[in-house]
Amino acid sequence: MTLDELEIKCRECTKCGLCEGRTNLVFGEGKKDADIMLIGEGPGENEDLQGRPFVGRSGQLLDKFLASVDLSREKNVYIANMVKCRPPKNRDPKPEEQDVCINWLREQFKIIRPKIIICVGRISAQRLIDKDFRVTKEHGVFYERNGVLMMGTYHPAAILRNPNNKELAFADWLAVRDKINELGIII
């Protein structure tokens, strides 16, 4: 199956209650065989309206971080979320919603086959790296999970709330760049 075929199937999904509130499902976007995959939390209001990940204020900041290390969704990364439909009032996605939606993410992963996964924020880091993951303590650290390198970093929304963390987050993106170079990944 191609990513486009998977997306068509996914758009019909009604496997959890989040489907009831969605304007658009946010499947993900970016390079279809990217070596770098980003996984956020879930769509917010703008994402729900546009059907695209990280297009609000957080997304603009994320794009800036990416651009600062020569990465972008147009060129070399793929961006998705733990859940594909907006949780009401932007609450955290519930574990049972993630349990259902992660199957779509797994299928995306199998097609894209990234070498590095960046968990953007606590929700995806706790689900994909370690259930006790603490962003303040473990951001920027690479872990290997089933042959894939994974790292968790600050969610841009957290940086907008507390700009003091901007330098720390920037250092994480520089570490991604170093890891890309170290592995000899051509992007």
Residue ranges binding ligand URA (CB under 6 A): 40-44, 47, 53-54, 58-59, 81, 121
Q: Name the minimum Å distance from CB 120 to ligand URA.
A: 6
Nearer to ligand URA, 41 or 172 (CB): 41
Q: Name the minimum Å distance from CB 133 to ligand URA.
A: 15
How far is the C-alpha of 126 from the C-alpha of 139, rounded, in Å?
Answer: 12
How far is the C-alpha of 42 from the C-alpha of 23, rounded, in Å?
Answer: 14
C-alpha closest to that of 116 among 97, 136, 82, 140: 140
Nearer to ligand URA, 16 or 159 (CB): 159
Q: Name the minimum Å distance from CB 54 to ligand URA.
A: 4
Contact (CB, 8 A) for 119 and 152 = yes
Nearer to ligand URA, 125 or 176 (CB): 125
Phi then psi dihedrals of residue 152, to 5 deg = -110, 140
CA dihedral of 82, 84, 88, 92, whole degrees rounded to 10: 0
Q: Name the minimum Å distance from CB 75 to ligand URA.
A: 19
The closest residue (CB) to ligand URA is: 40
Q: What distance lies between CA 92 and its chain's CA centroid?
A: 14
Q: Are strands 36-40 and 116-120 parallel, antiparallel or unpaired?
A: parallel
Nearer to ligand URA, 123 or 176 (CB): 123
Nearer to ligand URA, 88 or 184 (CB): 88
Q: Name the minimum Å distance from CB 154 to ligand URA.
A: 12
